[in-house]
Structure 1
């Protein structure tokens, strides 16, 4: 099969006892590969530490605490938790697996949390559940998108510099009468409204949420500058999602960042394809609408491409669905390597991918997608120990502003994809 070293974009380094690795390795790898990450197993502390020192901090590091009962130090002493923690590279964060007895000891949990513990889990834990939780941790730590906070108030109470370091853009808008228009235009993740402005227009939360063009996941937060239980209850009843009390700017900012982290995780789980990490159909449609609005404002050309692996059913029927998943993942990496900063790439389902190319004419798009087609065709997939095969894809193109909406663009590009399939496959039409 394809080389997993370059196939999977993320990696988990797993330190565990030998028997655990032998009993679980195959199934854990199978589950992890479906989520587009790989696992490297270790049963020796020294090798684990050496590898971790050189590895990417964005990877995950999992430690089964049962290793403490199976390892000895250089002077033949049994390894204790303090010895383990001192040896682990401090630039990483760790996920710990514990027994029920271990997880019941609060001081143990405190020691772990004080020493770069990202999360801990109690054993026994099913392999697919563990992999799903690790995937969620990858999603939580992913920071490739900017979040927007719209602030309605007389004075900004948050640390905007700290927010910026976490890719959060805070926009101060002091006029309640035009807030709904700005929300429609900016599509923020969170709207924070000070209590004084809410008191002037108590219907504001309902006005924002009733707009069909506003993201239904929008969160509206009331910032109370002074305690008022009756006001908080009234705001909650009128549609506010959260109440924050005015406190130190640093504390308030971290409260907002915690909320945004949860919003990002939820959006990733809803809008991302788990097998490839790309946008799914829901995520693409939402982001594409935003890009088209920007293109209209900035007078920029767009090209939408739909591509589809040729004879994919034959691939699945001949070599199995797991191998088919490998081909899909490899295509996602090939195409992803050709994406530019403002482009969108999604897996719509099965073997079909859709991309929206920023500041790109149809002619330029045809050249770019054709380079992707050739690069994918050059990959040799091992279908057996003695045989390799090459695969191809076909594609269709559509142009904005000749076509105005995401749906019009997709339907036309899909027609062109059908034309490419009918005229011999392994080509780009449009």
Structure 2
């Protein structure tokens, strides 16, 4: 078993880490000040100049579109990336230490998943019109899947209708938690809906590309996350009301939506989990620094046994989550997403819960400061808690893991039962 990163990965880690130290961390105060000023001026959904300026620097240093996996980079004409999941994972961790940092490198969700989706499942026309501007950072995108009327954790429940009328699809549906839709730079929605209610269960759904300026798109409101509206990115509730797009805007073909969703979410889960590990690492760092500088009952908080136990437990949890996530990334690279499905599900259960616990302990050490925005912990907790739902809730992943585990011991398979994967 080789747990070391390649020389290529180590070099990229250093470059990203240096960029974070030189540009991202020093800009946190400027980011907060500009966001506050925009909010006061009624422009909280506007792009922040602090990020736009840093994007130029990241691109100049060739730290752009790092998320693009090998196969997608080929399709996208090598606009950056070309990394394996294993190579990109530690870079995502570094970016995850600051919630908005991944956008600086053009590596933020949902654009990353949408770019991969258009690259893999779109036509040449789709790639020219939408993928290239996304890769260049000129526009942003959204993924319209989740709905308030149904349990969207089961993607086959999605009931937005995509009906063909001649040379057009007509789309009607109610969506919410659509990330990035309030951003004025959002130009395209990858929209999932039901094209054939009579088809087999996993063939009823399709995905179509819907331009953001299409007639009939109605944004109702931004949704807040535990009190945060997440501007300038945010999440919205919205309607598609008789929205018409050309038949050529469909991805892969009718009835292939569930297949596309499964292909899209595997790499996205790796990215989310590694960013969460970075977030937890920063929370642990803040926890140690705060505990070492505060005195209670005649000794530092760091000297208190309960604090030491939590620091030790946090270190263990973070490292265990990282190893499991890297195993999933490695398996995806050598065997594909389908073979790695159990590992992908496991990290999606483990990483958000771990991050929530570590951040909670860090908040506790910070006392009242941990509950306000003088420190990044409260917002970090809201982000981590959200990811126990995003890309599938804990319960769905646990059920899947249990089903696959039990399947190894089914009576008719006992003779050939073996672990799904091994190191």
Q: TM-score scaled by structure 1?
A: 0.28
Report the structure, 1 or 2, having the larger helix content.
2
**In proportion to residue count, which structure has more strand?**
1
Q: Which has the higher contact order (CA 8 A, sep 6+)?
A: 2
TM-score after normalising by structure 2:
0.28
**Which structure would you say has the larger Rg?**
1
